[in-house]
Amino acid sequence: MSERVIISETPFVDVEFQRSALEANGIEVEVRDTHTEAAVAEAVVDADALVVDVHSPVTADALERADGLRLIARAGTGFDNVDVGAAADHGVHVTNAPDYCTAEVATHAFGLLLACRRRIPAADREIRDGEWSWETDRPMRRVPGSTLGLVSFGGIARRLAEYVEGFDLEVLVYDPYVDEEVVEEYGGRLVEFPELLAESDAVSIHAPLTEETRGLFDADAFERMPEHAVLVNVGRGGIIDEGDLATALENREIAAAGLDVLAEEPPGETPLRDLENVVITPHSGWQSLEAYDDLNRTIARQLEQALDGQQPDHAIDPDPWS
């Protein structure tokens, strides 16, 4: 019996590329909608490997039905929708694609920061509404010479630190899991979270969603930030309490927010979309033709390795998630 790979119905995966890479080795490729726990539970029974996106909930209960499953390949960087510890208990590797969009997301984060600081989207809307005025009741501040705070210091945040060097920014980093020497290599300074909030003119979030980071940015955090501060989030939406953020923006406790991720995607009713000092993009920070190609090559490589009995290149260590 041939091995079977089930791919979640997702725009992130080039199914024809995966078929070309895998079927030559006798591996069957099937596409299914796995965006419910029940659908995932059915898929883990039928598949030797499962490719999922962020909307597929791979829970401990679903994994109870896993028998011949060897790999869950997350088509992306974050894997908070996969119970990595439960997968390990069932002998299933979990992989991601950690590097495929590093440059894109770092660029997007800085783009959001600049768009917010320079009020570019707001100015564009005003002109389209027939206005023409450089005056604003939200004065702009110079970007060079300011302080950028980075929450979490993985590959994307490190690339952003490199990008902003030419803008003469001081870089502060909050990450309890990184050594001070690593931060200093990139010209940054490791600080505690309260100091980062108080001293940063802009804060960019790059953290995964965990029990530690969920709701990290709440009313208390916004009170600690300067009134002129800009908040950027390219990590996960759940790291921000969006109700508290809307209140902080309305009350001008902070100046603006640039968000590529939201707690619910696509969002339901949210006051954030009605605020002129918010820039929202549709979780598109990863996107480029080159990143799409890199993602699919990475997925195919993980599938080939796992189904050949090898340790996949990007297997996630289950210990921190167990």
Active site residues: 236, 265, 283
C-alpha closest to that of 13 among 31, 40, 26: 31
* CA atoms within 13 Å, Cβ hemisphere of 78: 21
∠ CA 64-67-70, nearest 5°, is 105
Helix (H) or strand (E) holding 46: helix 37-46
Q: What is the DSSP string of 201-256?
A: SEEEE-----TTTTT-BSHHHHHHS-TT-EEEE-S-GGGB-HHHHHHHHHTTSSSE
SS3 (DSSP) at 283 = coil
